[in-house]
Amino acid sequence: MTSHFLKSRTLWISVAVLAVIGLFGAFLLMWRPAIDPIERPTTFDTAQLQRGARVVEAGDCAVCHTRPGGEYLAGGLPLVTPFGTLFSTNITPDKQTGIGQWSLPAFKRAMRQGIARDGHFLYPAFPYVHYRRMSEGDIADAYAYLMSGPAVHAPALQNQMNFPMNIRPLVSFWNLLFLHGEPLKPVAERSEAWNRGRYLVDGPGHCAGCHSPLNLIGAEKSSEYLQGGSVDGWNALALIGMGQRANPWSREQLVGYLRADVVDGHGTPAGPMRPVSLSLARLPASEAEAIAEYLLSLQSPHSVTETTPTTQPGPPADHSTGALLFTSACAGCHGPAAPMREIDGRPGLQNTSALQASSSRNFLKTVLEGVPAIPGSPGPVMPPFAASLDSDQLGALAAYLRQQARPDQPWADLSSTIEALRQETK
Ligand code: HEC
Ligand code: HEC
Ligand code: HEC
């Protein structure tokens, strides 16, 4: 009787001790201290501010931290993730609602570890996985630039994350698994441009955030680096083996594309790539040239770059509806004699990545959403057609244009892709 009592008591004590150790471990993993608030610094060196402006541009900070119609860097842009909707925050130097009380060490910790000044975990939708690879100097310059800007009062919006992702400390487990990269060091055997390109791609440019496939909990699959991902219903195509494709990219084409030009043979960036390319266009051309140098050095591990979808040969399709729709809705801009093509020397649609890709998604997304103008430039704009074309019309148009571009490989999945895209945008 006594011995049984003793045994169960020892058992209970062991369980209690283990539980305390476990809780303590979890506490250590999930708790971060606050970093003391400071008075906003006000004097900065002009050269540093100029460098900082370029870092903020290369890091696309404004792309996520400015909502349409909102104030520069004041946050409030919704980011729709598979785990719920998250809003970017105010990174202007406002004392109450922005980062006005953040010291440089607090800012660095956020950029490298994803921890806010008060100690709370930030969601990895903020690409600190990549920013942690940036140099000390770049982070300090970005900090100076942000601190020198106008303070905007803009309180954070309420996130709508699903359970269990609404519990922020759980991000610590994600970090434990996926937060490993070190600040990038130059590779001695490679040119300065190549090293610069790699730095821009893997550090501030966070290209793999969209161009690598993600796993089930939203982390990049490092074994499939830059092998193609998807974002907001668009395909972000593979950035490896770009010079070895059936329709290869030249260096010149790639530099032009990265700076939002319309490039014969590949087209122009649309969708989520557009703001990225507009940022690059505002930087010196040497930055896009460096990126091209690096990307063109990445070989594809597969000998065939584009997988050919299997299509069942059916009866020859009738493309008269598609051809008619093209004449009425598109030819005014994209037809052979359209002023946009004759005056501006724009290439025809058939050689664009949108129409050459094995998936119809990017073509369909471009037509549904249109292509907005380049801010401050009088260039032509493509209107969105989501409301004016119904699904059958869109399907007929896509089949017709694909037939012009790739007669050997019709898109097999058109009506289901169109339905999926319409569902996703609801
Ligand atoms: C892909 C979108 C995206 C980009 C690009 C991005 N951010 Fe963010 N950032 C976010 C989101 C979303 C949050 C809020 C995360 C959260 O609440 O957990 C955030 C939070 C932050 C925070 C924490 C602010 C706070 O109030 O807690 C800082 C600092 C920050 N970002 C700085 C930057 C800088 C500097 C850049 C550019 C180098 C940048 N971000 C680029 C999405 C982005
Ligand atoms: C926010 C997501 C996102 C980020 C970040 C991003 N891209 Fe893209 N990228 C896309 C999408 C989507 C497309 C397809 C656009 C289209 O079809 O118009 C694309 C297309 C491209 C293409 C054309 C590929 C082809 O074969 O047609 C290149 C090149 C490219 N991106 C390079 C980059 C580089 C370099 C970076 C980093 C500096 C980068 N991207 C960052 C989403 C992104
Ligand atoms: C008012 C002029 C206008 C009309 C009408 C128009 N577009 Fe466009 N389209 C543009 C502009 C501008 C671009 C961006 C590329 C450029 O500047 O040449 C573009 C780009 C595209 C692209 C992306 C090509 C690339 O460079 O990657 C596709 C695909 C496209 N349009 C298809 C269509 C289709 C299909 C229609 C008819 C339903 C249509 N467009 C109607 C002006 C127009």
H or E, element range at 234: strand 234-236
Residue 161: φ, ψ to 5°: -90, 145
Inter-residue contact 410 to 395 (CB < 8 Å): no
Pocket probe mutation, ligand 3, options 328, 351, 371, 411, max atoms within 8 Å of Cβ? 371
Structure-token match 């006005």, residue found: 100
- List the residue whose alpha carbon is closest to atom 9 of ligand 1: 126
Q: Is the CB of 90 under 6 A from ligand 3?
A: no
Same domain, 199 and 79: no
Closest CA to 280 of 85, 425, 71, 63: 63
Same domain, 147 and 104: yes
Same domain, 145 and 240: no
Same domain, 171 and 291: no
In a domain, 161, yes or no: yes
Owning domain of residue 128: 46-178
- List the residue whose alpha carbon is closest to atom 8 of ligand 1: 126
Same domain, 278 and 328: no
Tell me which of 113, 144, 178 is where a domain ends: 178
Same domain, 126 and 158: yes
In a domain, 27, yes or no: no
End-to-end CA distance of the chain: 68
In a domain, 304, yes or no: no
Tell me which of 144, 178, 212 is where a domain ends: 178
Same domain, 153 and 221: no
Total structural domains within the chain: 3
Protein residues whose CB sits closer than 6 Å to any atom of ligand 2: 201, 205-207, 209-211, 231, 234, 236-237, 239, 254, 257-258, 266, 269-273, 276, 291, 353-354, 362
Q: How many CB atoms lie within 10 A of CB 370?
A: 15
Low-confidence spans in the chain with pLDDT less than 70:
1-6, 302-316, 377-379, 426
In a domain, 301, yes or no: no
In a domain, 185, yes or no: no
Instruction: Output the six-digit token pair for 123.
Output: 């969601």
In a domain, 311, yes or no: no
Where in 238-394 does DSSP place strands (E)?
Answer: none
Cross-strand partners of 331: none
Same domain, 213 and 290: yes
Same domain, 125 and 231: no
Structure-token match 């930055």, residue found: 287
Inter-residue contact 47 to 145 (CB < 8 Å): no
Q: Is the CB of 349 under 6 A from ligand 1?
A: no
Same domain, 290 and 196: yes
CATH number at residue 365: 1.10.760.10
DSSP code, position 230 = E
Measure the CA–CA gap between 403 and 334, rounded to whole angstroms.
16
In a domain, 11, yes or no: no
Ligand at minimal distance from the CA of 338 is 3
Same domain, 165 and 199: no
Does the pTM surpass 0.85? The reply is yes
Measure the CA–CA gap between 227 and 241, rounded to whole angstroms.
9
User: Tell me, what amino acid is at 19?
Assistant: A
Q: How many CB atoms lie within 10 A of CB 93?
A: 21
Same domain, 208 and 137: no
Measure the CA–CA gap between 263 and 253, rounded to whole angstroms.
6
Q: Which residues are annotated as a binding site for heme c?
A: 61, 64-65, 207, 210-211, 330, 333-334
